[in-house]
Amino acid sequence: MSSSYNIILFLLNFCSGPTDKSITMSTAEKLVDVNSFIPVPIQEFAVGLSTPVDIYVKLSDDKYVLIIKAGEKATKERVHQYQNKKLEFLYIHEDSYHLLSKHTITIAGIAIKGDYPKKQKAKFVSQAASTLFNEFEHMGLNASNFRQAQEITKNSLTLVEAHKDILDLLESLNGCSDEVIRHAMGTSILAVLIGSAMGWQNASTMEKLSVGGMLMDIGLKVLPDELVKKPLTKMTMDEVNMYETHPYRGMEMATQLGIIPDDVVSIIYEHEENAIAQGYPRRLRGIKMHPLSRVVALANSFIRLVIPSVNNPNPKSPKEALNYMEDVMGQPHNPEAFNALKIIINNYQFQKF
């Protein structure tokens, strides 16, 4: 048994507390009457792991009941008990939410180096990303979750090494995360692959590409959920205009935080631009775009074609997407980056960075 597997076992049992004590609604005495709870989709609770935070069920808008204490295991029986009640969400208090993010990221960091099937590794990483995106949604971007995003991107890059080609990698993302996370992780990973195929080697540059891809759509978090989930073809002109403010909003959020490198802020602002001045929000020409934004904008555009979403119910294969970009879209992106993408799709073997 590998040492990493032992570490996972240790983490699973760490602070596991009294697992034979059944906590039911009637014995859970702690009724909390506050508004600062964050919903977490019930399927995202890793069954079998001890939870680092108290977990609640919502009874009404101002009543939450404690069902699993920090340190206890979220056993299959307990989680299923609430799934059977058709609850979609369990709740974590916002003061302790960062502990949940930290926990899932730690687990992902260990699992990624362990002897798990690659699908399982992708699931751990996307669970960590999902926890983090939930935190962005409810608490905004802050110094703590920005650092956690950096951690997750390191893990997502390790995923690349476990896959033989890009189709294999994208399929592993398709199976285990929601649309926004898949898109962010796919873009983050592909931007680094493109940078690498262009001959870039600097570790700091790679990290900026990766974090920029992961955070590029952070501005969507301040737009109405109904708008973000609406297909573009069904939006009114006003709705399209509002949707297209997301790079600017993201840039403002990142700038206000004060710790995000300027290069990453530029990626967030320019990830929907293209080389022929037909992107948004500023219709920049390629020459005016930040060099790292040129790569992320291409990765973003390509991932949009190959991953299922409300705007793309029938995703293309990577080769079809490449042809579509050339023949239908007129290849609107930076030529050097596009040539690197072609190399990746046609004959690139993933390597260590």
What is the binding site for Fe ion (CB under 5 A)? 217
Rank residues 230 and 319 by Cβ distance to Fe ion and give the closer one: 230
Nearest approach in angstroms of CB 135 to Fe ion is: 19
For Fe ion, the nearest residue by Cβ is: 217
Note the residue count of the chain: 353
Closest distance between Fe ion and the C-beta of residue 271, in Å?
A: 6
Nearest-approach distance from CB 5 to Fe ion, in angstroms: 38
Q: Are 131 and 184 in contact (CB under 8 A)?
A: no
DSSP 200: -
CB of 250 to Fe ion, least distance (A): 8
Contact predicate 336/198, CB 8 Å: yes
Which residue in this structure is represented by tokens 């206890």?
72
Least separation in angstroms between residue 318's CB and Fe ion is 20
Burial class (CB in 10 A: 0-12, 13-18, 19+), 98: buried
Judged by CB, which is closer to Fe ion: 72, or 217? 217
Instruction: Give the number of other CB atoms < 10 A from CB of residue 106.
Output: 15
Burial of 265 (0-12, 13-18, 19+ CB in 10 A): buried
Complex with Fe ion: residue 135 or 217, whichever CB lies closer: 217
User: What CA–CA distance (Å, rounded) separates 329 from 69?
Assistant: 53
Nearest to 128 by CA among 105, 146, 145, 148: 105
* Contact assessment for residue 247 and residue 217, using Cβ atoms and an 8 Å cutoff: no
- Give least dist CB 319 to Fe ion, A: 24
- Would you list the DSSP string of 301-337? HHHHHHS-BTTBSSPPPHHHHHHHHHHTS---S-HHH
| Complex with Fe ion: residue 123 or 246, whichever CB lies closer | 246
In terms of CB distance, is 198 or 303 closer to Fe ion? 303
Least distance in angstroms from the C-beta of 180 to Fe ion = 10
Compute CA 175 distance to the chain's CA centroid, rounded to the nearest angstrom. 14
Cβ nearer to Fe ion, comparing 54 with 217: 217
Shorter beta-carbon distance to Fe ion: residue 217 or 263: 217
